Structure 1
Amino acid sequence: MSTYIKSALLGLAVGDALGVPVEFQSRDQLSQSPVTGMREFGTHHQPAGTWSDDSSLTFCLAETLLKGYDLRDLANRFVNWRYHAYWTAHGKVFDVGNATNTAIHFLSQGAPPVTAGEDDENSNGNGSLMRILPLLFYIRDFDIHDRYCHVKDVSSLTHRHVRSIVCCFIYLEIARHILKGEQPLNAYLNAITDVNKYCKEKALLDQKEQDILAPILSGNLVHKPLNDIHGTGYVVHTLEAAIWILINTRKYADAVLTAVNLGNDTDTTAAVAGGLAGMHYGWEEIPAEWLNILAGKDRIEELIANLQVKFNI
């Protein structure tokens, strides 16, 4: 049986856990004391191996997809996570983004899932990008229009602006090419070829959005220096970082540590980069000393096993 699902979810969760202890530290601070492995306590005072909302909401989506594609079920799981600590590492929610928090409140009040997320320009944090990866395994064989529509709906539970949606779309298109066995650079270039064509056909992006996403959609991102790659919570920065890191590092460990040491939104940058790096390198390349202390590992492994049976990849 293929291990892409296991590699994606463990790659994401381990990256998340590496970043949790130093979330909000600046790149300058981390340059003085770079993260080289799992740490304990730190920003959120959590044991080593603890993952955050990034993994929690990823696991919620994965679990929904086991039953089928049901946005209300997904919404209920998000609400259960936020208010009852469902799918948390240690029975406690210790981190949640503002847009996600607001959207889940609306979901708890019965808002339709596809309109719960805000759609204003200021609501373009990375809160839907960080959790979207399992959707790939459901939509991988759909045509590109159906893939986009599913990404739009799943993102919109918390982030409904076109910029966030297209960033999620690009991310899953790259992951889809990795799933086909393509090398990172080819996966990226082939993905943006498809995305550019689709966005043009559907007139999805106005000139402002085209300009904002140009560094990614032009293919020129790979030539940026590391100093121009940022670890903030802005969805475009997170996607840029994940793509740049995937192409410019050669091992899973180097990928996620590079992501963490960008500073700021360390857990999410490393989760998003770690999902792609995990898929590319395989879960066997994740250092055993990191995997062995990952919180709730048995529960995650059970979810993964069920997903592998469901999707046969």
Structure 2
Amino acid sequence: MASIGLRARARGALLGLAVGDALGAPAENMKPSEIRARWGRITGYVAERPAGTDDTEYAIFSGLLLARHGSALTPAHVEAAWHEWIADRDEGPFRGAGFSERGTLENLRRGLAAPISAQHRHAWSDGLAMRAAPFGVFAAGRPAEAARLVAIDGSVSHDGEGIHGGQAVAAGFAAAMAGAPSDAVVAAAHAVVPDDSWTARSLRRAVTVAHRGERAVRSAVVIGGYPWTDLAPEAVALAFGAYAAADGDFEQSVLTAVNMGRDADTTAAVAGALAGATRGVSAIPRAWATAIGPVLGRCLPAMAGHHVLDVADLLTPTPRDPEPAPADYTLAPDGTETPT
């Protein structure tokens, strides 16, 4: 693979996450048959005004937290940030996002602290996996460190398989950030979770059949008839399966995840971040990239105005570019950004 700089991979990862989130959001909680009946095969944005959801805003939240504390991150830092940026502020119309986030917020507002704050019905959700990309960006080439840090973040909101899912994703990102091929990225994810965990078993099943395409991946992972689509073992396996099926190609990774339905915004966000880290920001189609602006804070009002590219720059500082880029961008054909 051609040489790709760390900053280009970081921007590819976080912009890829936001693009995947925006592409997948309209198909969230849908079956493939429902997607086909409404749009045929999704090949681009189907929303009039594509935008990221809680996946993007929580990834920015974790990225800013990590930029503030780095490897010294502790559960107390994470808990304080939840209070500062979420629990003690007015909520947006999405009321703090998904089930795991709602359960965490309710516990924090009752005065519970980590890890007790993570003891709720949805501690197994993919809410940690959806915000794990910044940890892989920060710990590029160090999957074990990425897994350690994301588990600290998750200690406030998740437990068990929810933590495993976040660790698998963060470790995969860390490997991709170092230029690992797609099979090594998957191996890095496997290496940081217990081999007998639901997450590991789902990952194995998804990747084993990935060469047969999205229907095979979905059939190998999804529990038919189960109402919840935000299961971490399922969503993480679908995302890695889509990424493996496409051999890291950005467009195909994301579109495979989107068209499998289920928790499509999260699976496409994770697949997009993996592929973006693998191939760099220039692999993201220009039309998809330019639709992504600063987040509106619809889920987390405190995140309003932040752009994922700002966070990428914060997590990969260089001597020549110590400050984050401006919030508005024009992407050149080679994928570089210039302020507007």
- Fold conserved (TM > 0.5)? yes
Map of 1:292 onto structure 2 = 290
Equivalent residue letter for 1:227: R
Between structures 1 and 2, the one with greater helix share = 1
1:131 has 2:139 as partner: no
Map of 1:308 onto structure 2 = 316
Structure 1's 53 and 82: CA in aligned 2 closer, same or farther, altered over 3 A? farther
Map of 1:8 onto structure 2 = 13
The one-character-per-residue Cα deviations of 1:256-298 (angstroms, maximum 9, x if unpaired) are: 1111111121111111111101111211111111111213178
Are the equivalent residues in 2 in contact too, given 1:132–1:155 (CA < 8 A)? no
**C-alpha separation between the residues in 2 aligned to 1:260 and 1:244?**
12
Equivalent residue letter for 1:290: W
**C-alpha separation between the residues in 1 aligned to 2:90 and 2:11?**
23
For the aligned residue pairs, the C-alpha RMSD in angstroms reads 3.2
Equivalent residue letter for 2:313: A
Are the equivalent residues in 2 in contact too, given 1:215–1:221 (CA < 8 A)? no
234, 253, 256: which one pairs with 2:254? Answer: 256
How far has the Cα of 1:228 moved from its partner? 4.0
Map of 2:232 onto structure 1 = 235
How far has the Cα of 1:92 moved from its partner? 4.7
Are the equivalent residues in 1 in contact too, given 2:13–2:276 (CA < 8 A)? yes
Instruction: Map residues 1-313 of structure 1 onto 2, 5 A cutoff.
Output: 2=6, 3-32=8-37, 33=39, 34-40=41-47, 48-68=49-69, 69-79=73-83, 80-81=85-86, 84=89, 92-93=93-94, 96-118=97-119, 123-140=123-140, 144=144, 148-160=147-159, 162-192=160-190, 194-195=191-192, 199=194, 209-210=196-197, 213-217=200-204, 220=208, 222=210, 226-230=214-218, 232-250=229-247, 251-296=249-294, 299-300=306-307, 301-309=309-317
Q: Which runs of 5+ in 1 are unaligned?
A: 41-46, 200-204
Structure 1's 48 and 105: CA in aligned 2 closer, same or farther, altered over 3 A? same
**C-alpha separation between the residues in 2 aligned to 1:74 and 1:211?**
26
Equivalent residue letter for 2:270: V
How far has the Cα of 1:135 moved from its partner? 1.6
Equivalent residue letter for 2:42: V
Q: Percent identity?
A: 21
**C-alpha separation between the residues in 2 aligned to 1:289 and 1:281?**
17
**C-alpha separation between the residues in 1 aligned to 2:270 and 2:262?**
14
Q: Which runs of 5+ in 2 are unaligned?
A: 223-228, 296-304, 322-340
How far has the Cα of 1:308 moved from its partner? 2.2
How far has the Cα of 1:128 moved from its partner? 1.0
Are the equivalent residues in 1 in contact too, given 2:23–2:265 (CA < 8 A)? yes
Equivalent residue letter for 1:22: A
Equivalent residue letter for 1:308: T
The one-character-per-residue Cα deviations of 1:55-97 (angstroms, maximum 9, x if unpaired) are: 11110010011111254444454453467478xxxx6537721
Equivalent residue letter for 2:94: V
Are the equivalent residues in 2 in contact too, given 1:100–1:117 (CA < 8 A)? no
Equivalent residue letter for 2:158: H
**C-alpha separation between the residues in 1 aligned to 2:142 and 2:254?**
30
More moved, 215-224 vs 9-18: 215-224
Superposition TM-score, scaled by structure 1 size = 0.79
Secondary structure of 1:134 counterpart: helix
**C-alpha separation between the residues in 2 aligned to 1:49 and 1:299?**
16
**C-alpha separation between the residues in 1 aligned to 2:132 and 2:236?**
12
Structure 1's 92 and 9: CA in aligned 2 closer, same or farther, altered over 3 A? farther
Secondary structure of 2:316 counterpart: helix
Are the equivalent residues in 1 in contact too, given 2:161–2:198 (CA < 8 A)? no
Are the equivalent residues in 2 in contact too, given 1:14–1:51 (CA < 8 A)? yes
Are the equivalent residues in 2 in contact too, given 1:229–1:237 (CA < 8 A)? no
**C-alpha separation between the residues in 2 aligned to 1:224 and 1:124?**
28
Superposition TM-score, scaled by structure 2 size = 0.73
More moved, 173-182 vs 267-276: 173-182
**C-alpha separation between the residues in 2 aligned to 1:211 and 1:64?**
29
**C-alpha separation between the residues in 1 aligned to 2:200 and 2:62?**
26
More moved, 55-64 vs 133-142: 133-142
How far has the Cα of 1:223 moved from its partner? 5.7
More moved, 246-255 vs 209-218: 209-218
Secondary structure of 2:158 counterpart: coil
The one-character-per-residue Cα deviations of 1:214-233 (angstroms, maximum 9, x if unpaired) are: 24258635466532434732
Map of 2:299 onto structure 1 = none
**C-alpha separation between the residues in 2 aligned to 1:141 and 1:296?**
28
Structure 1's 244 and 50: CA in aligned 2 closer, same or farther, altered over 3 A? same
The one-character-per-residue Cα deviations of 1:106-161 (angstroms, maximum 9, x if unpaired) are: 223443233321276x63221111111212244457684x654433222222211x
More moved, 248-257 vs 50-59: 248-257
